[in-house]
């Protein structure tokens, strides 16, 4: 039915547009560092090179001055050219022999001398060159230049990722699966090596450098027209703040996502433009609250945030009434306590250090000691949050708590990636890994802006709705999260549909018919419809589509291709929408003009709550 060539053609020529043609606010000479080192190398090569020139000149002139004897026994001297030729092959250890005729003892004496001289000269020059090539600063300069060149040649939108830690790695995997190009900058050589070893589809340029330095950011493509966003994901709040600041000052048009664990740094970041600040502790508290209030919503949220191919997580059932015990009243503990109290739950806090504000429910003591835990009366509690910044303490607390009260709901904070198997063996009910929280959050915000919108609006629809949607998604796409993609119904992305949308009322259900057999519905779940800034979550099949509507779909790649051909190919669209066969080729369509305008089909049901009168639109 569809013409694959047309689809291919449309994809081939829908070249990505530069994200911005706005010139950067200030130009930074990023390559100056690199050239400086190259100049230094040239400077250091001066002495070896001059030594070599002098040795050659002296040897050549000396050889021409010493008298020799030619084949007939006449006195003859080597000319400068012959002498230079001889020295060239002797000094480079090629050694063709004594040309053009055998040397006299006087000449041989001089040649012996020059051989040793030239060997010293070469050894010195080559040795200096090799030392320079091994030089750390020189290699860094070369790496910087190669990286800069690679970034400059990028001709597709890319995200600049500062910090390739655990969250950076998770994000790189997710974005690479989506075909989104990245550029990575990290101060640790090990991490950049890990990036090069990682099995990514795209070639991701990586640089070992301090991201807080604007020159390095500029080299990584901050002022590149295709730069689509900046992600500050290092484990250092100051660096993240510096990256946010640099991006906001030099490229105010770019979206910035910054990670921080401190609310103060978050406020300071907000002083520069409108960055999206991700605080993993804050987010975990919110997630915990959502998990308490609406477990299905929470399940859907974690599933969608995890990225393509993720397994459907189990639906946790945290206890919604009773007393919680929070161990560790640091930044994480405070956020969680506040969120639990906001959900009308009683909270007992255990903290080793004395707090400024007196809290009746605060127990001062080391939470890893069993008697301190006993004071919190775990037997009557329903949940425990092990939230200190030390994994060993957290694990020992969990073990003690489980022994005391096996029915406790256990939530824990995992600090180091190496502890993951231990927490898994412990069977924790809710595990908070700050790096993963950041990665999922950033993925949800940047992969498609509509997914973020969806996640924002979703909790308001209630738990039952979320459970239904999970069931629909599972029926259509299985237990693994399918690809999410968005389509804007405009001339570029859906040329075949736009014409009909303007003239008729086309319900979503008709668009989602299969181009192979229009009685079959594509296994595609529409998640969101965005029209003039208003959103409709999970629009149903009777929703009438308008031009310039934006839709977020979930479905397998094969189904996506079929939907793509409906959107791009006129004949497919006519078949899918109206069950009409019009010729695919331009010539036949011209010849059979009568088919171009199919007879009006009016049996479509009007959209519920749609008060728009179907007027004949002229575009």
Which residues contact other proteins by CB under 8 A?
Answer: 35-36, 39-46, 49-50, 53-54, 56-57, 60-61, 64, 79-82
Closer residue to other proteins (CB): 8 or 81: 81
Q: Which is nearer to other proteins, 58 or 502 (CB)?
A: 58
In sequence order, what are the residues at sequence separation of 6 or more whose Cβ sits closer than 8 angstroms to the Cβ of residue 16?
155, 156, 157, 226
Q: How far apart are CA 58 and CA 117, in angstroms?
A: 10
In angstroms, give the least distance from the CB of 84 to other proteins: 9
Smallest gap from residue 53 Cβ to other proteins (A): 5
Q: Output the smallest distance, CB 49 to other proteins, in A.
A: 4
Cβ at position 125, least distance to other proteins in Å = 11
CA distance 473 to 454: 15
State the Cα–Cα distance between residues 330 and 351, nearest whole angstrom: 8
Which residue(s) pair with 276 in the sheet? 257
- Shortest separation between residue 120's beta carbon and other proteins, angstroms: 18
Would you list the DSSP string of 495-534? Answer: HHHHHHHHHS-EEHHHHTB-SS-TTSBPSEEEEEEEETTE
Contacts of 580 (CB under 8 A, 6+ apart): 574, 595, 598
What are 578's two structure tokens? Answer: 């109206």
CB 97 within 8 A of CB 85: no
When the beta carbons of 80 and 605 are compared against other proteins, the nearer one is 80
Q: Which is nearer to other proteins, 82 or 490 (CB)?
A: 82
Peptide bond into 353 cis (omega under 30): no
Shortest gap between Cβ of 278 and other proteins (angstroms)? 43
- Record the tokens describing residue 348, joined without a space: 């007992």
- Reading the block at residue 157, the tokens are 């939108």
Q: Among residues 85 and 272, whose Cβ is nearest to other proteins? A: 85
At closest approach, how far in Å is the CB of 77 from other proteins?
Answer: 12
Distances (CA, A) of 357 to 334, 341, 360, 361: 13, 17, 10, 11
Q: Which is nearer to other proteins, 81 or 113 (CB)?
A: 81
Min separation Cβ 264 and other proteins, Å: 43
Q: Of 35 and 188, which CB lies nearer to other proteins in the complex structure?
A: 35
Give the Cα separation of 490 and 492 in Å (integer). Answer: 5
34 vs 347, beta carbon nearer other proteins? 34
Q: Which is nearer to other proteins, 142 or 601 (CB)?
A: 142
Is the sign of the CA dihedral 320, 321, 325, 328 positive or negative?
A: positive
Q: DSSP 3-state assignment of 469?
A: helix
For other proteins, the closer CB: 36 or 596? 36
CA 158, 159, 161: angle at the middle one, nearest 5? 140
For other proteins, the closer CB: 56 or 175? 56
End-to-end CA distance of the chain: 28
- Alpha carbons 394 and 23: distance in angstroms, whole number: 50
Do residues 355 and 414 make contact, with C-beta atoms less than 8 angstroms apart?
A: no
Q: Which is nearer to other proteins, 56 or 578 (CB)?
A: 56
Between helices 32-44 and 105-134, what is the axis angle to 10°?
A: 160
Minimum CB separation of residue 432 from other proteins in Å reads 52
Q: How far apart are CA 143 and CA 189, in angstroms?
A: 12
* Minimal distance, residue 390 CB to other proteins, in Å: 51
Contact 216, 204 (CB under 8 A): no
**Shortest Cβ 39–other proteins spacing (Å):** 5
- Report how far residue 472's alpha carbon sits from residue 527's, in angstroms, rounded to the nearest whole number: 11
Nearest approach, Cβ of residue 78 and other proteins (Å): 11
Q: Characterize the bridge pairing of strands 544-545 and 550-555.
A: unpaired
Q: What Rg value do the Cα atoms of the chain yield, rounded? A: 35
Quick one: 43 or 136, whose CB is closer to other proteins?
A: 43
- Least distance CB 79 / other proteins (angstroms): 6
User: Residue 571 and residue 574: Cα distance in Å, rounded?
Assistant: 5
User: Element (H or E) spanning 189, and its range?
Assistant: helix 189-197
| Pairing mode, strands 483-488 and 550-555 | antiparallel
């Amino acid at each position: 039915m569809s013409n694959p060539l047309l689809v291919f053609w449309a994809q081939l020529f829908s070249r990505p547009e530069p994200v911005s043609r706005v010139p950067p606010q200030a130009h930074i000479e990023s390559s100056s560092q690199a050239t400086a080192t190259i100049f230094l190398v040239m400077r250091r090569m001066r002495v070896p090179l001059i030594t070599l020139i002098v040795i050659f000149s002296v040897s050549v002139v000396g050889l021409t001055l010493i008298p020799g004897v030619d084949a007939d026994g006449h006195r003859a001297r080597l000319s400068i050219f012959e002498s230079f030729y001889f020295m060239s092959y002797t000094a480079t250890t090629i050694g063709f022999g004594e040309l053009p005729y055998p040397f006299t003892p006087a000449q041989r004496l001089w040649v012996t001398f020059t051989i040793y001289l030239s060997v010293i000269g070469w050894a010195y020059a080559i040795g200096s060159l090799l030392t320079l090539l091994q030089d750390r600063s020189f290699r860094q300069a070369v790496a910087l230049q190669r990286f800069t060149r690679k970034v400059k040649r990028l001709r597709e939108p890319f995200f600049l990722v500062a910090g390739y830690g655990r969250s950076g790695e998770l994000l790189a995997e997710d974005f690479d699966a989506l075909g989104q190009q990245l550029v990575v900058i990290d101060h640790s050589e090990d991490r950049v090596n890990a990036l090069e070893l990682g099995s990514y589809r795209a070639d991701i340029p990586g640089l070992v450098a301090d991201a807080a330095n604007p020159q390095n950011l500029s080299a990584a493509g901050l002022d590149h027209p295709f730069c689509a966003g900046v992600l500050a994901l290092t484990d250092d709040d100051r660096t993240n703040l510096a990256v946010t600041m640099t991006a906001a000052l030099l490229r105010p048009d770019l979206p910035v996502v910054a990670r921080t664990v401190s609310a103060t740094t978050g406020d300071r970041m907000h002083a520069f433009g409108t960055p999206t600040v991700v605080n993993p502790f804050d987010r975990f508290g919110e997630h915990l609250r959502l998990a308490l209030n609406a477990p299905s919503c929470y399940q859907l949220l974690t599933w969608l945030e995890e990225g393509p191919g993720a397994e459907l997580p189990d639906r946790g059932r945290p206890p919604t009434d009773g007393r919680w015990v929070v161990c560790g009243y640091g930044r994480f503990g405070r956020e969680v306590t506040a969120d639990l109290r906001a959900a009308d739950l009683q909270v007992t806090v255990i903290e080793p250090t004395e707090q400024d504000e007196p809290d009746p429910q605060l127990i001062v003591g080391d939470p890893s000691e069993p008697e301190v835990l006993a004071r919190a009366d775990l037997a009557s509690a329903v949940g425990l949050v092990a939230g200190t910044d030390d994994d060993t303490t957290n694990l020992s607390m969990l073990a003690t708590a489980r022994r005391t009260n096996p029915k406790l709901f256990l939530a824990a904070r995992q600090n180091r990636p190496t502890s993951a198997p231990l927490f898994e063996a412990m069977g924790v009910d809710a595990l908070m890994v700050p790096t993963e929280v950041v990665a999922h959050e950033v993925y949800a915000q940047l992969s498609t802006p509509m997914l973020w919108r969806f996640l924002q609006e979703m909790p308001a629809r209630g738990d039952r709705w979320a459970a239904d949607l999970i069931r629909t998604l599972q029926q259509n796409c299985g237990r693994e999260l399918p690809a999410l993609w968005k389509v804007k119904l405009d001339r570029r992305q859906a040329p075949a549909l736009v014409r009909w949308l303007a003239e008729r009322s086309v319900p979503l259900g008709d668009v989602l018919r299969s181009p192979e057999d229009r009685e079959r519905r594509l296994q595609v779940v529409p998640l969101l419809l965005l029209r003039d800034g208003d959103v409709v979550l999970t629009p149903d099949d009777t929703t009438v589509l308008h031009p310039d509507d934006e839709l977020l779909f979930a479905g397998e790649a094969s189904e996506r291709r079929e939907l793509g051909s409906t959107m791009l190919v006129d004949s497919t669209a006519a078949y899918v929408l109206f069950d009409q066969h019009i010729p695919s080729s331009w010539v036949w369509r011209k010849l059979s003009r009568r088919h171009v305008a199919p007879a009006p089909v009016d049996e479509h049901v009007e959209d519920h709550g749609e008060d728009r009168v179907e007027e004949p639109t002229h575009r």
